[in-house]
Every structure is written in C-alpha cells, then in structure tokens.
Amino acid sequence: ARNGTVVLANGSEIATSDSALQGETTVAINPGSVSLFLEAPGGSPRNSWYCQVSDIQFVGDVARVSLTGGIKIHADVTKSAAAELGLRKDVAVWASVKATEVIVQEVEG
C-alpha cells in the first residue's frame, strides 16, 4: 500500500481512506458496501471495477452476487435489485465501493 492505494497481486488497485498506509496490507470489503451498476458509475466512489457475475446465491430477500474480473468481490443486493439489473451468470456489471468502506490492515512482520 502507498498513499492510500492498495495494489493487488494482479495489478488492480483499491483506493482507501487511509493515506498513511505503507507496505504489505490485507483488505476486506463488506458485501453490503458494494453497489452494482449496468453502466460505469459516476459520483464520489473512488473504486469501480468492470466485472462478470460468476454466481448468485439467494438467502431470504438477499442475493449474494459473486463477481470476477479485475477483482474478485461479493455484493449483497436485494432480490428485487438483482431482478431489476437482470443479474445472472456471465452478466457484465460495474461494482463500486467508496474508499471509506474499505477495511485495511497492515501486515505485521
């Protein structure tokens, strides 16, 4: 990590709100913090990735959407949102996360 940006092994970048980060880190993103769009999102989120739906699991009224592409990530959306977006395997979407929602911890040692 450097200057608030974490670079993943595949070269993808994740912006965080911690500009003091340096060195090796671990990153976690709550699936409920991930928003999905059919077109590239605008606005304040610093992180947006073009992804494909690899799987959808339904638990009650929540759809856990597994995504692959520049980043492997999960998104929790309502069943109605999944239906409105037409989500199914191999559908292309944009995943977006605000930098303030990225949990980062420096690796010790």
Q: Which two tokens stand for residue 70?
A: 């520049």
- Structural contact between residues 43 and 99, judged by C-beta atoms closer than 8 angstroms: no
- Of how many residues is the chain composed? 109
Q: Which two tokens stand for residue 55?
A: 């799987």
Domains in the chain, please, with CATH?
Answer: 5-106 (2.40.50.100)
Residue 22: predicted pLDDT: 82
Interval 81-108: pLDDT, tens: 999 999 999 999 999 999 999 999 888 8
* Alpha carbon distance 32, 20 (integer Å): 26
84 vs 19, higher pLDDT? 84
Q: How much is the pTM?
A: 0.90
Is pLDDT of 27 > 80?
yes
Is pLDDT of 41 > 70?
yes
Among residues of the chain, what percentage have pLDDT more than 90?
72
| Bridge partner list, 71 | none
